[in-house]
Amino acid sequence: MRLSEISSTYKFVVTSQSDFTRGFRVVLHVNGFPVGRYSYVIDDEGLSRHDVEVAADQRNKKYGIALTLKAMQVANDYDLGYEQDSLGQTADMDRVYASLFKNGLITGALGKFSLTGKGEDYLESLTT
């Protein structure tokens, strides 16, 4: 499946227990059902921690890509900045970042990322 083939029946629910000063959570619903979540937290030392989970039966449908894009957008919209997880990343996240760069949806260096105009347009297309 290519990025352009993802269904447009997405709904992102974004919440924060810290009023977006220390992090947030994104839950992705597709056709009314939750399929994954992304938690982004800034710890007491100012380091970012990420936790991404897509339901086992919903993997390989590019939901991780959609969640990561939305997390980047929210982090940057609330001036948290989106930084690579300070604990490192999994092989799955390596693949997500590689896909986002390859498709021109994100830009960045040294572990700090943001959406390109193409990335913003793509994310908007998922919910319209």
Q: Is the pTM of this model over 0.85?
A: yes
Q: Characterise 66 by phi-psi region: left (phi > 0), alpha (psi -120 to 50), beta (else).
A: alpha
Reply yes or no on whether the pLDDT at 110 is more than 80: no
Is it the case that residue 125 has pLDDT exceeding 60? yes
**How much of the chain is helix, strand and coil, in % rounded to 5?**
35, 30, 35
Residues facing residue 14 across a β-bridge: 26
Rounded Cα distance, 122 and 126, in Å: 7
- Is residue 1 very low, low, confident or very high in pLDDT (cuts 50, 70, 90)? very low
Q: Using one digit for the tens of pLDDT, what is the confidence trace for 55-90? A: 999 988 889 999 999 999 999 999 998 887 777 788
Annotate 8-21 with b (16+ C-beta within 10 A) or e (fewer). Answer: eebebebeeeeebe
Compute the average pLDDT of residues 49-56: 90
Give pLDDT tens digits for 2-48.
Answer: 444 544 589 999 999 999 999 999 999 998 899 999 999 999 998 88
Mean pLDDT of 101-121: 91
| Domains, in order of start, for the chain | 3-126 (3.40.630.30)
What values do phi and psi take at 42, rounded to 5?
-105, 120
